[in-house]
């Protein structure tokens, strides 16, 4: 983004050198549009602290050296200011609570976007008012009538300008399920399947879902007491799962699990080997599936599993992966696939058709959460029955993320092939096998209620249904505050990581990348176990060397832009050198 701003500024200067002279008002208007955001000011200060010269900073950001100098003089004030991302200036006497509202609102909007939800101006304003009310209510020492925040049209326009959310806001009615688009896509999908000759075993669907793995129905005393504990953080109990299976239902891919911590304390206690888990374990502070993690899962888990399955079943080496257009699913995914998985084709569902067409959304994920809850209650019963361990002691001392992983595995295994196959009825009815029996399946919810009452919990079917739905509800103000704090911590870590990058020269990076390539080629030629070597080389290349290549790629791009600026500057200066001096 900063590089683009530099290009725009440089081109603007070159046009000014050869074009007609502009009025002072026009120049002032242009300068007004090119705002230096607070985020950019902090970057300038950090880079200067790292040893970058004022003249180099001026060239990189397309500013006068005097502007950079002014920013550096205000160093302490700028670094001490914490506002929502994208804010360009500090408004005097602006309430701190309003700054906090906007920061939380941006986190909430990001969550909405990741879920593929459409938001309108009215929805955003209502959420802003709710956040403001919650924050004011939680402030110590507040009494009397709470401060009223109207979230007016003027505020919204200014917020939109400050944060740049115009690209995600849709005006008018929020788009609901788009039935015509779903019908058109279903016809297109069937045409692709017929033309390419795909069979149900070769067609896959994947989708993510959130899981609060320590959440119980609200009316149980465990949930009520747990929420009162000092320092209790609900977001720490949140993880994201990505499920995938084929249309025939006979191949479930190992799920991707994203957790806030890379190495939870329970892993050390139970001596867990993450490579041997029944899920692909990854982490980031927000427990989100990102593009990097998704591509990692496709190349290291999905691709190998599908290839082996097709070979084992004597099926043609081709597959189709269907998914929604969530931000974590890159549009150019085919380009990120390893060469050996080039047989995988990608197809995206249109916006606002997921509830109508996406197989994983056709009760499969809801059924998984019911089965997970059943496992949770069953585990409670097993540990507390015929022992002196109370239900509260089980919850605090005998239930951790390792136990959770076992229950996730059991619940995912509990989704039957029949259920996986039937989930394609809305999109591909011809692939659904006829049922051998019309007898209804046993109700999982009734089993949960029965287990709950066995261990002394007054739980109803409505409580269980509410719990399953809660996993998909939008985050509370408290949870947004925690996410915002985690985001700030993650940003600080990234800045530290970028500073560390500066110690590596481009020559060192090029050398190490070439050496890695040579070592990989040598191992693949001479190691006796070719298959094992091939897998390990791919893993090392994807998970280790890719980050170094990205750093080198950014450096090369920056060098190209610097040469562009230098050439532009020479072109601008050459005509002026031949001009006679002004009298």
CA–CA dist 98, 100 (Å, integer): 5
Question: Is 7 in the same domain as 132?
Answer: no
pLDDT of residue 88: 45
**Which among 132, 167, 202 is the end of a domain?**
167
The single residue listed with the structure tokens 């206690």 is 269
| Nearest by Cα to 306 from 345, 335, 357 | 345
Unique residue bearing structure tokens 């929420």: 227
The answer to whether the CB of 381 falls within 8 A of the CB of 452 is no
What is the predicted pLDDT for the residue at 315? 97
The answer to the question of residue 484 being in a domain is no
Full pLDDT tens readout for the chain, 583 residues: 444 444 334 434 433 333 444 444 344 444 443 567 777 888 888 888 877 888 888 888 888 888 888 888 888 777 766 554 444 445 555 677 888 888 888 877 777 666 656 667 777 888 888 888 888 877 765 555 556 788 887 888 888 777 766 544 444 444 456 788 899 999 999 999 999 999 999 999 999 988 888 877 666 655 555 554 444 455 567 899 999 999 999 999 999 999 988 888 889 888 999 989 999 999 887 788 888 899 999 999 999 999 999 999 999 999 999 999 887 888 888 888 999 999 999 999 988 888 889 999 888 998 999 999 899 888 888 888 878 887 778 877 888 999 999 999 999 999 999 999 999 999 999 999 987 554 444 588 888 888 877 877 777 788 777 777 765 556 667 667 766 666 565 555 544 444 444 556 777 888 888 888 889 889 888 888 887 887 788 778 776 787 777 777 766 655 555 555 455 455 555 544 444 444 3
**450 and 561 co-located in one domain:** no
Provide the pLDDT for residue 202.
98
Task: Say what the pLDDT of residue 294 is.
Answer: 94
Looking at the structure, do residues 133 and 189 belong to the same domain, yes or no? no
pLDDT of 113: 65
Residue 126 lies in a domain: yes
Structural domain includes residue 174: no
Instruction: Scan for tokens 């029996």, then name that residue.
Output: 437
CA distances from 401 to 238, 261, 398, 446, 458 (A): 11, 11, 10, 26, 25
- 209 and 103 assigned to the same domain: no
- Closest by CA position to 198, among listed 353, 348, 344, 362: 344
Domain assignment of residue 459, yes or no = yes
CATH number at residue 143: 1.10.10
Question: Which of 459, 452, 465 minimizes the C-alpha distance to 379?
Answer: 452
Contact 375, 413 (CB under 8 A): no
Query: Does residue 187 form part of some domain?
Result: yes
Kindly state whether residues 121 and 72 are assigned to the same domain: no
**Cβ atoms of 566 and 12 closer than 8 Å:** no
Torsion sign across C-alpha atoms 512, 515, 517, 520: negative
Q: Are residues 118 and 236 in the same domain?
A: no
Q: Are residues 467 and 518 in the same domain?
A: no
Single out the residue in 167, 191, 211 at which a domain terminates: 167
The pLDDT, as a whole number, for residue 244 is: 97
Does 401 lie in the same domain as 281?
Answer: yes
| Cα separation, 285 vs 259, whole angstroms | 8
pLDDT in tens, 282-304: 988 778 888 889 999 999 999 99
Domain range for 551 is: 504-574
In a domain, 243, yes or no: yes
Among the listed residues 407, 436, 411, the one whose alpha carbon sits nearest the alpha carbon of residue 421? 436
34 and 124 in a common domain: no
Number of domains forming the structure of the chain: 4
**DSSP character at residue 390:** -
Same domain? 107 vs 234 = no
User: Domain boundary residue among 167, 197, 227?
Assistant: 167
Q: What is the pLDDT of residue 19?
A: 42
Q: Are residues 161 and 18 in the same domain?
A: no
- Total H helices, total E strands in the chain: 26, 6
Whether residues 291 and 224 share a domain: the answer is: yes
């Amino acid at each position: 983004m900063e590089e683009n701003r530099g290009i725009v500024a440089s081109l603007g200067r070159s046009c000014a050198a050869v074009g007609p002279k502009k009025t002072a008002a026009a120049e002032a208007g242009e300068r007004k549009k090119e705002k230096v955001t607070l985020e950019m000011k902090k970057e300038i200060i950090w880079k200067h602290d790292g040893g970058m010269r004022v003249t180099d900073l001026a060239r990189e950001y397309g500013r006068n050296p005097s502007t950079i100098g002014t920013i550096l003089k205000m160093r302490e004030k700028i670094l001490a200011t914490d506002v929502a991302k994208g804010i360009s200036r500090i408004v005097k006497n602006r309430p701190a609570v309003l700054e906090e509202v906007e920061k939380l609102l941006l986190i909430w909007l990001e969550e909405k976007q990741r879920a593929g939800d459409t938001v309108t101006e009215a929805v955003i304003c209502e959420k802003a008012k709710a956040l403001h009310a919650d924050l004011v209510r939680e402030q110590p020492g507040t009494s009397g009538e709470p401060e009223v925040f109207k979230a007016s049209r003027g505020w919204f326009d200014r917020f939109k300008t400050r944060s740049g959310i115009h690209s995600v806001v849709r005006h008018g009615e929020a788009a609901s399920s788009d039935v015509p688009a779903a019908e058109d896509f279903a016809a297109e999908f069937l045409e692709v399947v017929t033309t390419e000759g795909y069979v149900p075993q070769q067609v896959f669907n994947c989708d993510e879902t959130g899981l609060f793995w320590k959440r119980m129905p609200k009316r149980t005393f465990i949930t009520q007491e747990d929420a009162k504990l000092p320092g209790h953080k609900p977001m720490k109990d949140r993880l994201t799962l990505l499920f995938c299976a084929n249309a025939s239902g006979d191949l479930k891919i190992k799920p991707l699990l994203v957790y806030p911590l890379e190495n939870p304390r329970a892993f050390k206690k139970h001596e867990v080997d993450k490579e041997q888990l029944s899920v692909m374990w990854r982490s980031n502070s927000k427990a989100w599936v990102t593009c990097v993690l998704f591509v990692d899962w496709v190349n290291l888990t999905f691709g190998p599993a599908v290839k082996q399955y097709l070979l084992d079943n004597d099926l043609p080496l081709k597959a189709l992966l269907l998914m929604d257009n969530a931000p974590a699913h890159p549009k150019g995914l085919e380009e990120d696939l390893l060469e050996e998985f080039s047989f995988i084709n990608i197809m995206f569902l249109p916006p606002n058709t997921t509830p109508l067409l996406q197989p994983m959304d056709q009760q499969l994920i809801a059924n998984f959460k019911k089965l997970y809850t059943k496992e949770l209650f069953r585990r409670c019963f097993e540990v507390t029955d015929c022992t002196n361990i109370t239900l509260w002691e089980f919850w605090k001392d005998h239930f951790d993320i390792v136990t959770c992983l076992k229950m996730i595995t059991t619940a995912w295994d509990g989704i039957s092939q029949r259920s996986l196959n039937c989930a394609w009825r809305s999109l591909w009815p011809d692939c659904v096998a006829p049922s051998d029996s019309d007898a209804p399946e046993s109700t999982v919810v009734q089993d949960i209620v029965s287990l709950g009452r066995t261990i002394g919990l007054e739980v109803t079917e409505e409580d269980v249904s509410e719990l399953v739905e809660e996993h998909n509800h939008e985050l509370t103000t408290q949870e947004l505050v925690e996410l915002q704090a985690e985001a700030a911590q993650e940003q600080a870590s990234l800045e530290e990581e970028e500073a560390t990058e500066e110690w590596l020269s481009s020559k060192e990076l090029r050398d190490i990348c070439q050496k890695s390539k040579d070592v990989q080629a040598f191992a693949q030629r001479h190691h006796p176990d070719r298959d094992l070597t091939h897998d390990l080389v791919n893993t090392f290349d994807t998970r280790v060397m890719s980050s170094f290549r990205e750093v080198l790629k950014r450096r090369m791009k920056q060098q190209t832009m610097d040469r562009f600026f230098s050439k532009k500057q020479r072109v601008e200066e050459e005509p002026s050198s031949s001009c006679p001096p002004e009298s």
